[in-house]
Structure 1
């Protein structure tokens, strides 16, 4: 590397820092556009503070893992794109911020005509710096049954440009140079925000909007506007049941039920709730150039509580129990609670039964035992002696059923109840221009890295997890 290139590299803003700044800018934008989101942030902050004050063990655990530092930064957004070119470019835009596509989600089987991925950081160090994620969906035009309407929607999408020319230039600059300097990074954030901004003026007539909406309200949300306005930002709470109750006390209209597993002593995966979509005024552009006033509902407020990342074995158990509850045909919540009694609700059992991923840490007792030459070399013995401790890895991703439930509750029941099983990851990755990361492999790598770090600290050849 030349001296000039090395100097340039030192001037680059780290992608993690660009992500932090973008996340804050996005939050400010959404708070200005949807004031109720600001009230939601205040409620979540209050609930989190109470949870930490009332549960010293929880506070200590979050301090040990570093989760407490990222709690106020924790949020995800969601957008819906209309065509392959938009998906491929958004991948490049997020890469500037150190965010990569993780997982493939087919929501069509739940009656939502999209398939999706989550853009996020993929290394635990970057996640600690900023866990910001964007759940990104691509409209599946082939699921529009009416051929004429399908072609019309494709034509509308083909004519729109959701990225500013300067944003494209800065993406290319980052790709060619290897990074962005401070002024470029600040400009990139400003330009990238334009893609996610709300546009009150639709790009279609009221009649076409109605046709699209009758197919599915999400189709109208994607096709009828200038860009993929951010439709929600989601803060992380430590007690989602308290937030659900708090919304009702504040006069905020929440979903009827919390999506995901039931409340547990040891949370797993992801639980989500939201306040219902806002009815917002929009202007439709008629064929003769006239403007017609109307309304649109898409943007809402969501809250999440994250738990332990489950292994493939744990996910299989989770899926079976959830499916049993959904098939029961009785009162859903009591059946769900009864079904999940089978799922171990203590971290020791989750680890021993290989149901969840964990991160391992050397304890002060372990360092002292090393100094005395009294260390065991076996993982289980080290844990039993208190020379190592472990905490579950936080689930960083999403649940298809929960995502679909949130979508349906906020877009209404218009459209088909189900598009059948039509997952097509190959086509999605072709449109994306890259393969998606396997989230289970990422968790396994994080777990193994923590074991390797412990082995190095203790002077052991290796430590192997299950």
Structure 2
């Protein structure tokens, strides 16, 4: 079939993310309030910082801000995870990274489905943090077997969605009409269902083992538990949330406030207590369930392996201090003090190899290349103003931060201990495909930009010589 007849994965991803956002706004009205607040803060930030706005425009990052979302779902079986990988592939999203959330007592491990190339991220960077329940971490063998049996009975994808995934895999794409149908059918997997698939007694046993276990096992499908807009000033959003009637969590997860943001900062509003119905042998029984919440994120510079090691060391020094974790009113101050040892200007971060950057030829560089030989040495080009370096946005997640969000919205306490129990091999086997290494993804993006600069210089030289 003619490939030009197919709708691009970027377009399908955009339709899906917009449909998902509309659905979640109707299900969780506070999400709409949150979106309005984030839009106001972003507009104010850009108005007050023209240089930031100009940099975002130069790197194609400005147009994606309003579109940007990430969602999160929790799956119960290997089959669900493998099929979800195939569903996201239709939208140009691949699994990046492995996250062990058992580090904070959360019985899941996860990956992030997202686009990876800069041109696709610029069109729509929608990503979904996808977790798989760790049944092996349920200590009660009888409860573990019961949970597995319950999960084995459910089907979370519609027949039409499965058929269209197969059509995509067979033909290499979907037509416009097929893409529209696919989006409508795929969204059904993420919809909230207030009717539990277990009786009240079973729910209580699952909930006693862990609230997240009850959330995954007790319902028809993996309802989206949050959608997250991106803000340019998370501190301003956090401060303004109470005034909008939004109960923010106490601590912003991630690095402290900085002139040059790094990695990912996240906060959220507390999970909703929602009315549900249990179905038992004696009829319906009313109950409540807490799972869905609102989250906000601020994304900064993607760090290299060296930078990430320094970040992890600085963060651990604060969390391990006196066994206080991130609890206590002094946490923000302790965090800021610990990160004084982490450079806070982009030029130092770049020269010391702590962060990833995208390089672009400047007008001065184009002029210099056309009038005579220019060095292809990157540092010389940057020093002479012939090439500009722009931070590459961190597109992924931090396991400690993700666990902190999970815990605070499942009724748990803030994190205090971190004993890892990773099973990446089991996760990859369930997924049915390897997960990309996030550092390699950023390394490749940086390398492509450097090669593009050098190719442009060579072409300019050749044109001038002709």
> TM above 0.5, one fold?
yes
Q: 2:311 aligns with which of 296, 313, 318?
A: 318
Question: Are 1:36 and 2:35 matched, yes or no?
Answer: no
Question: Are 1:225 and 2:219 matched, yes or no?
Answer: yes
The one-character-per-residue Cα deviations of 1:61-85 (angstroms, maximum 9, x if unpaired) are: 1111111010001110000000100
How big is the shift at 1:417?
A: 8.0
Paired residues of 2:68 and 2:124 also in contact (CA < 8 A): yes
Aligned alpha-carbon RMSD (Å): 1.6
Deviates more, 1:372-381 or 1:63-72: 372-381
Moved over 6 A (4+): 416-419
Question: Are 1:395 and 2:388 matched, yes or no?
Answer: no
- Equivalent residue, structure 1, for 2:192: 198
Paired residues of 1:230 and 1:299 also in contact (CA < 8 A): yes
- Equivalent residue, structure 2, for 1:178: 172
- Equivalent residue, structure 1, for 2:116: 122
- Equivalent residue, structure 1, for 2:464: none
Distance in 2 between residues matched to 1:23 and 1:418, nearest whole Å: 35
How big is the shift at 1:378?
A: 1.5
Distance in 1 between residues matched to 2:408 and 2:224, nearest whole Å: 17
* 1:40-189 mapped onto 2 (5 Å cutoff): 40-189=34-183
Paired residues of 2:362 and 2:386 also in contact (CA < 8 A): yes
Distance in 1 between residues matched to 2:147 and 2:385, nearest whole Å: 61
Paired residues of 1:37 and 1:301 also in contact (CA < 8 A): yes
How big is the shift at 1:422?
A: 1.4
Distance in 2 between residues matched to 1:146 and 1:191, nearest whole Å: 36
* 1:269-280 mapped onto 2 (5 Å cutoff): 269-280=263-274
Paired residues of 2:319 and 2:416 also in contact (CA < 8 A): no
How big is the shift at 1:49?
A: 0.2
Decide whether aligned partners of structure 1 residues 21 and 181 sit closer, same or farther in structure 2, where only a CA change above 3 A counts: same
Distance in 1 between residues matched to 2:274 and 2:175, nearest whole Å: 38
Decide whether aligned partners of structure 1 residues 68 and 354 sit closer, same or farther in structure 2, where only a CA change above 3 A counts: same
Deviates more, 1:422-431 or 1:329-338: 329-338
Paired residues of 2:64 and 2:122 also in contact (CA < 8 A): yes
The one-character-per-residue Cα deviations of 1:84-123 (angstroms, maximum 9, x if unpaired) are: 0000000000000000000000001211000000000011
Decide whether aligned partners of structure 1 residues 460 and 440 sit closer, same or farther in structure 2, where only a CA change above 3 A counts: farther
- Equivalent residue, structure 2, for 1:366: 365
- Equivalent residue, structure 2, for 1:11: 5
TM-score, normalised with respect to structure 2: 0.96
Paired residues of 1:202 and 1:284 also in contact (CA < 8 A): yes
Unaligned runs of 5+ in 2: 325-329, 461-466
- Equivalent residue, structure 2, for 1:354: 353
Decide whether aligned partners of structure 1 residues 358 and 166 sit closer, same or farther in structure 2, where only a CA change above 3 A counts: same
Paired residues of 1:321 and 1:339 also in contact (CA < 8 A): yes
Give SS of 1:459's match.
helix
- Equivalent residue, structure 1, for 2:339: 340
Distance in 2 between residues matched to 1:46 and 1:351, nearest whole Å: 32
Give SS of 1:104's match.
strand
Distance in 2 between residues matched to 1:323 and 1:171, nearest whole Å: 43
- Equivalent residue, structure 2, for 1:328: 321
How big is the shift at 1:133?
A: 0.2
Paired residues of 2:247 and 2:269 also in contact (CA < 8 A): yes
- Equivalent residue, structure 2, for 1:380: 379
Distance in 2 between residues matched to 1:442 and 1:354, nearest whole Å: 16
Give SS of 2:426's match.
helix
How big is the shift at 1:413?
A: 2.2
Distance in 2 between residues matched to 1:353 and 1:418, nearest whole Å: 32
How big is the shift at 1:10?
A: 1.2
Question: Are 1:432 and 2:424 matched, yes or no?
Answer: no
Paired residues of 2:304 and 2:356 also in contact (CA < 8 A): yes
Paired residues of 1:217 and 1:411 also in contact (CA < 8 A): yes
